[in-house]
Amino acid sequence: MLVFLVFGKLLGRNPFSTGNVYETSRSRPWAEVVTNVAVLVGLIFVAYEVHQNTVNQGMTAYQDLVGRITELNRMSIENSELSRVRAEIIDQRFNELSEHDKRMWTAYSWMLFRHGDMAYFQFELGALDETRMRSAMGILIDMLRVSSATRDHWKRASRNFVPGYREYIDGIIEEF
C-alpha cells in the first residue's frame, strides 16, 4: 500500500481516485522507468538469493561429507580390531587375515565406496566442485592407492555403482 501511495504522489495524482494513473502522457514515461527499476531490483534480489542458496547447499553437502570422514576415521581409531586389520591391509597382508577380518575389511571398504559415491553424487548435483569432491574422497583414494585388496574389492563391487562414479574411480586407479 505504501508503494502505491508513493507511486501516486510521484505522478502527482491521488492513488485512490477513479481516474487512471497512466492517463497523462507526462506521467507515462516516469511510470515505465519506475516499473523497470523495480523489476530490475527484484531480479537482482532473486539472483542474489539463488546464489546464496547454492553456496549454502555446497557448504552443507561438504560439511556432511566431512562428518562422514570423521566417523570413518573414528571407527578405525576406536575399534582396535579394525585398526589392526587396516594396518594389515596397508601392509599388503590381506591373504593372511582370518575370514572374520576379511569380512570386517570388506564391510569397511563398502563404507568407503559409499562415501565416495555420495561425494560424487554431490558433485553431479553441482553442490561440490571437483576439488572439494576429490578432497572428500581422500580417505577412499588413499586406501585405493596403498591397498591392492581394496582395489580388488573395488573391481568386484564397482558394478553396484552408477557408471559416472565407476569411471571416475577407475580413472583415479589408473593414475597410480
Spell 40-77 as b/e; 16+ CB within 10 A means b: eeeeeeeeeeeeeeeeeebeebbeebeebbeebeeebe
**What are the tens digits of pLDDT across the range 65-87?**
778 878 888 888 888 999 899 99
117-143 average pLDDT score: 92
Asked if pLDDT for residue 173 goes beyond 90, the answer is yes
Asked if the model's pLDDT at residue 2 lies above 70, the reply is no
What is each CA distance from 95 to 98, 101, 106, 149, 171, in whole angstroms?
Answer: 8, 10, 13, 9, 26
pLDDT, average across residues 35-58: 70
Angle at 77 between CA 71 and CA 82, to 5 degrees: 95
The cell numbers describing 164, all together, are 559416472
pLDDT given for residue 16 in this prediction: 52
Please state the rounded mean pLDDT for residues 40-60.
69
Dig out the grid coordinates for 165 from the structure. 562414479
Report yes or no on whether pTM surpasses 0.85.
Answer: no
Mean pLDDT of 11-33: 58
